[in-house]
Amino acid sequence: MVKSLPLRSEVPTEEKWDLTSLFASSEDFEPVPEALEKEAEAFSAQFKGTLAEPASIVEMLEAYTALYEKITQAGAYASLSLSTDQSNDEAQMRASRFGSAAAKIGSNLSFVASELLELPEATLEAAIVQAPPFENYLKKLLRRKPHQLHPEAEKALAAYSATFNAPYGLYNTTKMLDMSFDNFEVGGQKYPLSYVSFEGDWEAETRTDLRRAAFTAFSDKLEEYQHTAAKTYDMELQTEKTTSDLRGYGSIFDYLLFDQEVDRSLYNRQIDLIMKELAPHMRKYAKLLQQVHGLDKMTFADLKISLDASYEPEITVEESKKYINKALAVMGPDYLEMVERSYSERWIDFAQNKGKSTGAFCSSPYGSHPYILISWTGRMNEVFVLAHELGHAGHFHNANREQNIFNARPSLYFIEAPSTMNEMLVANHLLANSDDPKFKRWVISTIVARTYYHNFVTHLLEAAYQRKVYERIDAGESVNAGILNTIKRGVLEEFWGDAVEITSGAELTWMRQPHYYMGLYPYTYSAGLTISTQVSKRILSEGQPAVDEWLDVLKAGGTKTPAELAQMAGVDITTEKPLRDTIAYIGELIDELVSLTEEIDQA
């Protein structure tokens, strides 16, 4: 049974991550924001108005790199220490103080881009010849030239960065602090409910009456905050629209896709093909869930249940390491050393506690090691979640070592490929080591329910909803709770058809996702998984050569576009073929689940 969550102070140390590689203590961090402000002022005083020749540009960029690394690590510490307990007053103030400092720092540093873009292109090309590591930074800067504003306007916008980021902070405050869930009751017994317990346990609860009651109680609480949440989201959308217009982009989509280095056709393709061609496969999967569990009807509240929950073993953190080591062994000893360090040096926060951010993520501050947040429930599917985040860690472990801070991070379009690759490697390993039909069904259903459902359905439906929202904003309109609910319900009904009843409360799912405050992020999960599905097939069939090419992709970081990175791994994302092949593969997996279920039932 789900228990009430402990306070952060009650969690054993071994379940928490260790942030001392960033700062030895919170006391050591205290003077840092002000010190960085002064350093940025000194940097501005030294270099502003001096950028005329290649030598002065290179000198400035070298100093800028060192300063940027310090800012990145300080920002990571402020953010990470808050993410484990949003109710901690000290952590709240620390994050707020850093946000204010970062705005001042950004304002002082805005001259860098402004002055560089005022120089003749030939001067920047000469600087690239003198210092090739800055080629990527300078060429990306030149791409932005048509959208660069007057230096004073850029300085003012940078000074307002903390204000522009405020909607995301407000979203988290509402979600993690103001939203308090009461116990819900079934059959005269009360059960505890929280954001973490709903998403980590109750959604997958095998007892239908408990699962559906938890969904209703959870949705009822979301509904109480829907108007505040909608207004917060509209603030974010209007800020993005204003920025897009100010900078002269053709549409808000062009603005948000610019840094991803892909055009709108790739964005639309992911949404359109999946909505149309994956839907029939997933409806078949929903019907299979209904049949196996003997449900009177299939509702939205039932979609996260396991096909065979009785078979899913519980697993400890220590046991998870064995599975992950075996699954990722194909990546080589250096990669496995990174995995070992992540456990032994406490890079991972496993705890479940009140106030902790929901979901899972990996933060990889340059100059330090990655940090992974996860709320460990003991379910076997957590191995896939942890492998996913270790995929991000392995990506930046390699990229940060091989590239400078400006070259390390790839386009958002590609960011989920290394993470979902690890999920595929776990699945491949488990399938290769058993012929038992029940175990095979459990593994395949986990791939479908965890890897593909999460990335190709959950996030893709978010993307389809998000596109409709942005179309309204681009037309000069705004949104409120009623409009968002209508859009979300429409997308869910279009995808699931008559296979799933979209019950009351499902339309509020838009309130649960922080990705909406990160631009066009949700669709990139399916884009990354499309790439990793194809590469994982190559690794199965070709072995070491495919692994070596993939490791080269990880090391390349952000030095190439998404299409170029995918090409390095043998995947051509400029065509529909990889996506269509991946959708067909998901269909094959679901057909195999149907066959295995028939075999098991007849045994």
d(CA 548, CA 598) in angstroms, rounded, equals 40
Query: In this structure, what are the phi and psi dihedrals at residue 270, rounded to the nearest 5 degrees?
Result: -55, -45
pLDDT 10s digits, 534-589: 999 999 999 999 999 999 999 999 999 999 999 999 999 999 999 999 999 999 99
Q: Are 437 and 596 in contact (CB under 8 A)?
A: yes
Asked if pLDDT for residue 291 goes beyond 80, the answer is yes
CB atoms within 10 A of CB 286: 20
pLDDT 10s digits, 365-415: 999 999 999 999 888 888 999 999 999 999 999 999 999 999 999 999 999
DSSP 119: S
pLDDT 10s digits, 25-80: 999 999 999 999 999 999 999 999 999 999 999 999 999 999 999 999 999 999 99
Between residues 506 and 161, the one the model is more confident about: 506
Q: Which residues of 293-328 are buried (b: 16+ CB within 10 A; e: fewer)?
A: beeeebbbbbbbbbbbeeebeebebeebbebbeebb
Q: At CB < 8 A and 24+ separation, what contacts does 21-24 make? A: 21/345, 21/368, 21/369, 22/73, 22/76, 22/77, 22/80, 22/365, 22/368, 23/77
Residues in the chain: 603
pLDDT value of position 250: 96
Q: Are 172 and 442 in contact (CB under 8 A)?
A: no
Q: Which of 38, 527, 445, 3 is nearest to 265 (CA)?
A: 527
The contacts of residue 160 (CB under 8 Å, 6+ apart) are: 103
pLDDT > 90 in the chain, percent: 86
**Ordered domains of the chain (ranges, CATH):** 11-163 (1.20.140.70)
pLDDT value of position 3: 65
CB atoms within 10 A of CB 250: 10
Indicate the burial class of 549 (C-beta count within 10 angstroms; 0-12, 13-18, 19 or more).
middle
Q: Are 424 and 451 in contact (CB under 8 A)?
A: yes
d(CA 76, CA 70) in angstroms, rounded, equals 10
CB atoms within 10 A of CB 90: 11
d(CA 583, CA 271) in angstroms, rounded, equals 12
d(CA 344, CA 365) in angstroms, rounded, equals 19
**Confidence class for position 2, pLDDT limits 50, 70, 90:** low
pLDDT 10s digits, 217-233: 999 999 999 999 999 99
Query: Alpha carbon of 95 to those of 24, 26, 155, 584: distances in Å?
Result: 17, 12, 22, 45
Global pTM reads 0.90
Asked if pLDDT for residue 457 goes beyond 90, the answer is yes
pLDDT value of position 153: 95
The string of DSSP codes covering 52-76 is -SHHHHHHHHHHHHHHHHHHHHHHH
d(CA 360, CA 376) in angstroms, rounded, equals 10
Packing angle, helices 89-109 and 111-118, rounded to 10: 20
Please give the average per-residue pLDDT across 196-209, as a whole number: 90
Tokens of 100: 């204010």
Q: Are 236 and 546 in contact (CB under 8 A)?
A: no
Asked if pLDDT for residue 335 goes beyond 70, the answer is yes
**Confidence class for position 177, pLDDT limits 50, 70, 90:** confident
Decide the pairing of beta strands 371-373 and 184-186.
unpaired
The whole-chain average pLDDT of the chain stands at 94
pLDDT value of position 323: 92
Asked if pLDDT for residue 234 goes beyond 80, the answer is yes
Asked if pLDDT for residue 244 goes beyond 60, the answer is yes
